[in-house]
Amino acid sequence: FCCPLHFYCSVDKASGKSTLGKKDLTLSFALSFLHFFHFRTSLPVPMFSRNTISVWSILKKCIGLELSKITMPIVFNEPLSFLQRITEYMEHIYLINRACSLPDSIERMKAVAAFAVSAVASQWDRTGKPFNPLLGETYELTREEHGFRLVSEQVSHHPPISAFHAESLVGDFVFHGSIYPKLKFWGKSVEAEPKGTITLELLKHNEAYTWSNPYCCVHNIILGKLWIEQYGTVEIVNHSTGDKCVLNFKPCGMFGKELHKVEGYIQDKSKKKCCIIYGKWTECMWSVDPQSYEAHKKSEKKGENRKQKQLRLRQNDDADDMPEVQETVCVVPGSTLLWRIDSRPAHSATMYNFTNFAMSLNELEPGMEAILAPTDCRFRPDIRAMENGRMDDASREKERLEEKQRAARKDRSKSDKEWSTRWFGNGTNPYTGLQDWLYTGGYFDRHYQDLPDIY
Ligand SMILES: *[C@@H]1O[C@H](CO)[C@@H](O)[C@H](O)[C@H]1NC(C)=O
Ligand SMILES: *[C@@H]1O[C@H](CO)[C@@H](O)[C@H](O)[C@H]1NC(C)=O
Ligand SMILES: *[C@@H]1O[C@H](CO)[C@@H](O)[C@H](O)[C@H]1NC(C)=O
């Protein structure tokens, strides 16, 4: 049972369908218990210091360009592929399991809203750039103890599009999406526009929710201290009824008062607000009834008018410093806690500010090699080299892989061969009617013939 090979195979036998039989499940839980203590909680070596490198010399010619066209030194990366980075949505999957178990639909929506916020919480202080996935690159993650498995594939290179599909091992939910962050360089900052839809289906409740992520901005990429801001409106729509939850990720504003704040509400079909949701994406989310919230806001405003604040213009060449993070979330009496972030391990600061979950994502456990698709990110030599602190190797390997990808594309164009995706197909999202990449199934049958040689 301790053999990871056997562990994976036993899961696999049952995986012709998307759910596992009860017997297999008991078995897998027993196995996952053994497996659980296995995940590593740190990287092999601490990160390389970035302090001595001048980004300005690289970037000053690139203002307004799309970031994918700029080559940055590898020292600004973090040793994860973007496919692994989006897998971090799954860190708080217990919120989805909670949503599945709740009989009341508004309560379910609250849990889904908390999940949508928690899914971007791992971005906090993560200023390292993940590696761009190669076309055809895949990533899988099975976490028995959290009851899900996930597979993702890089389905397009220009524009870069990553598609993922996660499913509950007991048939409770399906969670999928295709993501293509459009990165733009704005002189002092890099902004990622969140293109692509995320869909969550709660199968037992016959409900589907869709949303897209907020904007994400990395400030001070040239001067000063790097910091991350997320802003924009995230609308979670319940497609069974058209009811929705609107979450406003606030830009930090002039004095940083709004830094990290998220505020929103759930409304029913008659557009009546049923509940207010508030908190910080870096910290925690609460829900409260609208009356209590309004009353609290009013009393807060009164206090504020007494304090006059000075205007500070930010249109200059200096670094846009991250405002001091003010008090933590101020809890309105009568609120219920929906989610609280786990603290990061102490060594996180020297390891790209990874969470415990992120630390484990590139782990290649003994026995896994025989099971993973050869296109899995864990086999990428550049990421592996960086993870082990071999920066020159990492840089060389990254260049080699990119060159190999270019050569393969050239060959295809000569022979009129089209690239075809392997595990996802171009289709229409049944809920939004928009173009989307949908899982065509079969990955966990592990028939890997005809996979491209991308490494
Ligand atoms: C979502 O749709 C379901 C199914 O029609 C409905 O029962 C439920 O009230 C809706 N949930 C919310 C939170 O609006
Ligand atoms: C990690 O977080 C610290 C504290 O906010 C920050 O100074 C540092 O730049 C971050 N490191 C990375 C690699 O993002
Ligand atoms: C996917 O299909 C849509 C139309 O449904 C089309 O516009 C788009 O170009 C296709 N994308 C790819 C990469 O094939």
Angstrom distance (rounded) from CA 412 to CA 400: 18
Residue at token pair 């009341």 = 104
Which of 115, 236, 238, 431 to mutate to test ligand 1, by most ligand atoms within 8 A of the CB atom?
238
Please spell the DSSP secondary structure of 139-200, one letter per residue.
EEEEEGGGTEEEEEEEEETTTTEEEEEEEETTSSEEEEEEEEEEEEE-SSEEEEEEES-EEE
Say what the pLDDT of residue 324 is.
60
Residue bearing the CA closest to ligand 3, atom 1 = 426
Check pLDDT > 90 for residue 61. Answer: no
Ligand nearest to the CA of 272: 1
Residues 20, 14 contacting (CB under 8 angstroms): yes
Give 63: exposed, middle or buried? Use CB within 10 Å, 0-12, 13-18, 19+. exposed
In eight-state DSSP terms, residue 250 is -
Q: Structural domain boundaries of the chain? A: 55-300+325-445
Tell me how far apart the alpha carbons of residues 273 and 328 are, in angstroms, rounded to a whole number.
25
**217 pLDDT band (50/70/90 cuts)?**
confident
Residue with tokens 């896994």: 368
**What is the residue with the minimal CA distance to atom 11 of ligand 3?**
426
User: Which ligand is the nearest neighbour of the Cα of 245?
Assistant: 1
Quote the Cα angle for 379-351-192, to 5°: 75
Query: Would you call the peptide bond into 159 cis, given omega within 30 degrees of 0 as the criterion?
Result: yes
Q: Both tokens of residue 180?
A: 């293509």
β-bridge mates for residue 200, sequence order: 175, 209
Evaluate: CB of 105 within 6 angstroms of ligand 1.
Answer: yes
pLDDT at 381 over 60: yes
Q: Residue 242, by phi and psi: left (phi above 0), alpha (psi -120 to 50) or beta?
A: left
Residue 388: is its pLDDT beyond 80? yes
Q: Which CATH class is domain 55-300+325-445?
A: mainly beta
Percent over 70 (pLDDT), the chain: 79
- Return the ligand number nearest the Cα of 48: 2
**Mean per-residue pLDDT for 129-146?**
94
Half-sphere exposure of 105 (CA within 13 A, CB side): 20
In angstroms, what CA-CA distances link 297 with 300, 301, 308, 309, 378?
Answer: 5, 6, 18, 19, 49
Beta bridge partners of 247: 234, 264
Residue 263 CA to residue 277 CA, distance in Å, equals 6
Q: Cα(255)–Cα(146) distance, rounded to whole angstroms?
A: 40
**pTM for this one?**
0.82
More confident residue, 78 or 56: 78
Ligand closest in space to the Cα of 50: 2
CB crowding 74-99: b at 16 or more within 10 Å, else e: bbebbbbbbbbbbbbbbbbbebbbbb
Is 240 close to ligand 1, i.e. is its CB under 6 Å away? yes
Q: Look at 99-113, 198-212, 304-318, 422-436 and tell me which has the smallest mean pLDDT.
A: 304-318
pLDDT for residue 18: 36
Q: Is the CB of 435 under 6 A from ligand 3?
A: yes
pLDDT digits (tens, 9 = 90+) for 242-286: 778 999 888 876 666 777 888 999 998 788 899 999 999 889 999
Q: In testing the pocket of ligand 1, which one of 100, 203, 207 has its CB within 8 Å of the most ligand atoms?
A: 207
The ligand placed nearest to the CA atom of residue 438 is 3
DSSP secondary structure string for all residues of 295-360: HHHHHHHHHHHHS--------SSS--PPPPP-S---PPTT-EEEEEPPPPPGGGGGTTT--HHHHH
The model's pLDDT over 317-346, given as tens digits with 9 standing for 90+, comes to: 566 666 665 557 788 889 999 999 999 999
Closest protein CA for atom 13 of ligand 2: 352
Pocket test for ligand 2, best of 127, 129, 190, 325 (most atoms within 8 A of CB): 127
Q: How far is the CA of 82 from the centre of ligand 3 (A)?
A: 22
Closest ligand 2 atom to residue 78 Cα is: 13
Q: Which residue matches tokens 């979330």?
A: 329
Q: Which atom of ligand 1 is nearest to the CA of 108?
A: 13
The C-alpha angle with vertex 271 and arms to 267 and 272, in degrees rounded to 5, equals: 70
Q: Is the Cβ atom of 123 under 6 angstroms away from ligand 2?
A: no
Residue 307 tokens, joined: 């304090």
Does ligand 2 lie within 6 Å of residue 221's CB atom?
no
Q: Is the pLDDT of residue 14 over 60?
A: no
CA of 353 to the centre of ligand 1 (A): 38
- Which of the listed residues 347, 353, 354, 386 should we mutate to test ligand 2's pocket, taking the one with most ligand atoms within 8 A of CB? 353
Label residue 311 by pLDDT band (50, 70, 90): very low
Nearest ligand 3 atom, CA 156: 13
**Spatial contact of 224 and 321, defined as CB atoms under 8 Å apart:** yes
Of 158, 141, 168, 124, the C-alpha closest to 81 is 141
Give yes or no for a contact between 346 and 360, defined as CB atoms under 8 angstroms apart: no
Average pLDDT over every residue of 22-35: 46
Cα 305 to middle of ligand 2, angstroms: 35
Which residue matches tokens 């990874």? 354
